[in-house]
Structure 1
Amino acid sequence: MTIETVEYPRTPLAERKAGRKNWERTGWMFMRVSGMLLVVLVLVHLYSNLVAGDGVHQIGYEFVVANKFSVPFWLIWDALLLILALIHGTNGMRTIVNDYVYKPGPRKALTITLWTACAIEIILGLIVLIVFAVEPCIHSASGIAICQ
């Protein structure tokens, strides 16, 4: 029984197996680029929500639905923040699994579970963003409606 190893991200091109893409290098580069983008996305998100305007006192259903999600720029901004953060975190967890799980079977099962959970969370998060952008009025079972 042989132990399958994960390819080192900085393996020189001459040493790599012919025709194989180095996914570890791709993941390594993605973490650097997405990390820089996430810093900008998060700082602007925090500034626009907590500092600009009335600060933290303005945060509420009306602020999010009427002010933020009525502008497509902020809807795309929040969707990009959601997607990048989840993929960045999942890729980090995948790296931890690769570092500490030595057997290929459990490693593959955990990796598939991580990416499946990531995809489900992205889909659910985008559904919430789209629903609030399209239908900002919530109707409760008691007949009370919260609208913009």
Structure 2
Amino acid sequence: MTTAKAEVSAPAATGSTNVRSGIEAPNAKRRKVAGRRTNFEMYSWLFMRLSGIVLIVLVFGHLLIMNVLDGGVHRINWGFVAGRWASPFWQTWDLLMLWLAELHGANGLRTVINDYARKDGTRFWLMVLLYASVILTIGLGTLVIFTFDPSMGG
């Protein structure tokens, strides 16, 4: 009975890159990037999980109150919103839902852009558009929640 030994090619044994495919061997030594290393991606991953759990509670609570209880959507009008936003509790609820939903979605889109935008220029401009839309949406939403004037309704 003979035992077959697996031969390891020279590039794989030394940990270099396969020139044809551009893929590094699993045991390749990583080159170190100068500067301080951050854990941004780990915190981003953790934020997605935690914000997703909180958003489930906030959104289902919102849907239950707005669409199911006390007559459903037929009772939603200016007076209902004015009465609801007169309470700091509901202002905080809606503000937290706005901020978490926007940041959760933006973080997901940031990941998609980083994964699929091939050119650096394309990635840059998509990120600029993403961050500008996030700032605009969060800014305007926060402004509306805090400056809402119930006396303007007719």
Query: TM-score band (shorter)?
Result: 0.7 to 0.9
1:58-115 deviations in Å (ceiling 9; x for gaps) = 111111112x111110010001101111111111111110111122232122112201
Give the secondary-structure state (helix, strand or coil) at the position aligned to 2:36. Answer: coil
CA distance 1:136–1:22, shift in 2 (3 Å): same
The alignment's TM-score, normalised by the length of structure 2, stands at: 0.73
Cα separation, 2, equivalents of 1:111 and 1:35: 22
Instruction: State the match for 2:51 in structure 1.
Output: 34
Give the secondary-structure state (helix, strand or coil) at the position aligned to 2:70. Answer: coil
Percentage of identical aligned residues:
41
Which ranges of structure 2 fall in alignment gaps of 5 or more residues?
1-30
- 1:86-97 matches, within 5 Å, as 86-97=102-113
**Runs of 4+ with >3 A deviation:** 15-18
Aligned 8 A contact 2:95 2:142 in 1: yes
Cα separation, 2, equivalents of 1:81 and 1:105: 33
Residue 124 of structure 2 corresponds to residue 108 of structure 1: yes
**Which of the residues 83, 96, 100 maps onto 1:84?**
100
The alignment's TM-score, normalised by the length of structure 1, stands at: 0.76
**Which of the residues 44, 50, 61 maps onto 2:78?**
61
The alignment's C-alpha RMSD in Å is 2.0
